[in-house]
Amino acid sequence: MKRLMTLTALAGLLAGTAAAQTTFIANSFYEGAVPMSGEGYVRWAELVRELSDGDLVPEVFTGTVLLAPRAALQGIQDNVVQVAHHAAIYTPSDLPVASALQELGFTYSDPLTAIFAVTDFSMNNPAQLDEWQQNGVVYLGAYATPAYVLMCATPVRNLAEMRGKRIRTAGSAVSVWVEEAGGIPVNVPSSEMYTGLERGSLDCATNAASDLVDRSLLEVAPHTTMLSTGMYWSGPQWGYNPDFWAGLTTGQREILMEASARSMARMVIAYSGKVEAGLQAFRDAGGNVYEPEPDLADHVDAFRERTVADAAQKAGTEFGLAEPEALIAAFQASMDKWQDLLADVDPTDEDALTAIAMQEIYDKIDAATYGVQ
């Protein structure tokens, strides 16, 4: 309680600094090397200051010094932070719509399509918008990881080698697959992967291959299998406290929207480069990179084929959502829409990606009323 009061006091102090500026706290529990923090918060803050001519001044915290991963949503609600990254997989009972849609993560592997499709859906779908409002969050943009792969202490190339392995997972769909493949899912935050592998409480971690370098996993996981176990997008990359958001001018909100559009482009581009660099550094350090053997690959393909039907059923039975089939279909339509929109766009062109995000998403949102209750 004392710590929460202290953080709240700090938030109030920073938010009230200098009449000529709006200073506020921004938090991402990832370390700065991870694009969600590096591009999505550190460079994003610089961009916000630049676009606002110094009027908006985010004070950025990365890592878990301010909020633990599971505490980010409450931190936004309580105004401990004015904006934060929050992964919905840590609070599924609070965010059933976002969590139900994450069940589809196993079926997709393109972060470029996902980051804009998820943003488009999350800022326009009535059920998802109602969920943000009910949870005291103003949603302003997505994150999307690259496809997660297996990074292990010992080789895992086939179903026999999967058997009995303790594998760090995030989200229930991949946990179900791990169990069906003979492994043991362990749901811990990504910040605990290194220590788990180092101490032997984990045999493998599923995460982006960029973490071989960004989180030094190459030191504790000398075996990587290029088996896509899905990707993650659930929850806001930038979730704003509603009172703070309502206190901004329309122009300030428009600046933050533009900053989201460009920062999403930067995150995707950075992630792609980091995956390539991570795998190369891993190989250079003597790490072993494998393709999955046929029985393991076939097992994943079979699981992926039934994921959509399972996701709709689970959305209704486990998450208690009304019209789950319609919700899943609407989300898939957003993914299809953005796959078509991006078909002829250079995935490395930051300006082109920013422009299409502004044109198709943010320019269609009324900043005077969006998120204002």
pLDDT tens-place string over residues 300-339: 999 988 888 889 999 999 999 999 999 999 999 999 999 9
Chain centroid, CA 269 distance in Å? 15
Q: Which residue has the higher pLDDT, 134 or 187?
A: 134
Please report the pLDDT score of residue 20 as a whole number.
Answer: 57
pLDDT tens-place string over residues 75-132: 999 999 999 999 998 999 999 999 999 999 988 989 999 999 999 999 999 999 999 9
Cβ contacts of 351-359, under 8 Å, gap ≥ 24: 353/112, 353/264, 353/265, 353/268, 353/269, 354/261, 354/262, 354/265, 356/116, 357/116, 357/119, 357/261, 357/262, 357/264, 357/265, 358/257, 358/258, 358/261
- 205: which 2 tokens? 């971690």
Residue 23's identity, in one-letter code, is: T
Please report the pLDDT score of residue 16 as a whole number.
Answer: 44
User: How far separated are the first and last CA of the chain, in Å rounded?
Assistant: 29
Cα gap 47→260, rounded to integer Å: 10
| Superfamily name and number for 91-234+243-373 | Bacterial extracellular solute-binding protein, family 7 (3.40.190.170)
Name the strand (E) or helix (H) holding 73: helix 72-77
State yes or no: pLDDT of 1 exceeds 50: no
- 189: which 2 tokens? 């935050």
State yes or no: pLDDT of 28 exceeds 70: yes
Q: How confident is the prediction for the chain on average, in pLDDT?
A: 93
Cα gap 3→89, rounded to integer Å: 25
Cα gap 287→226, rounded to integer Å: 13
State yes or no: pLDDT of 2 exceeds 50: no
